[in-house]
Amino acid sequence: MGKDYQIGAFFATLPHLFCCLFPFLLQLHAYREDSHSGLVHHLGKVATGQLVRGFKSLILRKNSMKKNPKVRLLISASQDIKNYILFRKYSWTKLLDMFLPTKLHYILNKDYSKKEAENEVSKYVKERFKTEKRKITQDTESIKKGWELAENKYFDLVNIIFKNHPWPKGKYIGYASVFNMYPRNVQDKIFYFPGLHTSSRLGVQTISHEMLHFMFFDYLKTKYGISEDDEFEGKNPKYVWNISETFNLVIEAWKPYQKILKTKSEPYDPVHKRMFPRMKKLWDEKNDIDYLLSHYF
Ligand SMILES: [Zn+2]
């Protein structure tokens, strides 16, 4: 019990990091819905896309020109219930333990079937969204305001980091969550943010962090043909993900970024901690993403 509480408390201070723990679990299969956003985006750059030709591709090209995405923050109990269902599906007990508020840990008991557990969670989520409606709404509103204040400068900086690479097409929707981890879907550009127990600054940092991932993976895919789940010989299966996470840390530790986001980031995963100094050095040498990536791929 005490241990669980400690873990919870630790994460409560670093909610913007939750997302990063195991995002690959939830992507692709998870929130795919009917979207084909990744495909649409890539059509903008290719002549190989057989689906779109001529003027249609011109439209796509035009639409994908440097236009900053509009991030929407929404409050939806049913989306958060879906969050749990998918998390449970692609996760394992230890992680689920961290994801769930302590109050819900009883559902991990073997006596509860998957369906029963789902019902309990569903009840809990609906109840929280109802009783905490005011707080969730207020928090979401203040995160929105905070993001609006930061977004122009943020986008300008991302522009510099990624050399004017266009933002990939996608939904760019953040959903408020009452859970303790905030996964994302790289494909659709959907993410979760802390709907409770947080300052707006952490919410804004979560958005910025996720947006960096979205941009990073699209850059990697478009320029290098590398996907998040690609594996490399002799490397950890999570190699690409680890690079992305460490890259975020490097950028979050970069003065111009810190100035805008007022963030201070520390590696929380031993792997990233090990990767961090070298990558930071590479970034500081030239502030050039391709130079940096050339040392990893
Ligand atoms: Zn992350």
Across 3-7, 75-79, 146-150, 181-185, least confident range: 3-7
Per residue in 163-195, pLDDT (tens digit) is 999 999 999 999 999 998 888 888 889 999 888
206 CA distance to ligand 1 middle (Å): 9
Number of independent structural domains in the chain: 1
Q: Of 201, 248, 240, 285, which is closest to residue 19 (Cα–Cα)? A: 248
* 175/143 Cα distance (integer angstroms): 12
Ligand 1 center to residue 59 CA distance, Å? 32
Ligand 1 centroid – CA 204 distance (Å): 14
Q: What is the mean pLDDT of residues 251-264?
A: 91
pLDDT of residue 64 exceeding 60, the answer is: no
Distance, in Å, from the CA atom of 188 to the CA atom of 40, rounded to the nearest integer, reads 11
Distance CA 30, CA 176 (A): 18
| Among candidate residues 294, 143, 165, 273, the one with its CA nearest the CA of residue 209 | 143
The tens digit of pLDDT for each residue in 228-247 reads 889 999 999 889 999 999 99
Tell me the H-state helices in the chain: 2-13, 23-26, 37-43, 54-63, 77-90, 93-99, 114-131, 133-161, 200-224, 239-252, 255-261, 270-286, 289-293
Q: Which domain holds residue 25?
A: 2-293
For residue 249, the CA-to-ligand 1 centroid distance in Å is 9
Q: Nearest CA to 196 among 80, 65, 37, 109?
A: 80
Ligand 1 midpoint to CA 177 (Å): 16
Extract the tokens encoding 78: 């049913």
Would you say 182 and 15 are in contact if contact means Cβ atoms under 8 Å apart?
A: yes
Distance 19 CA to ligand 1 centre (A): 5
Q: What CA–CA distance (Å, rounded) separates 297 from 207?
A: 27
Record the pTM. Answer: 0.76
Measured in Å, residue 182 CA sits from the centre of ligand 1 at: 9
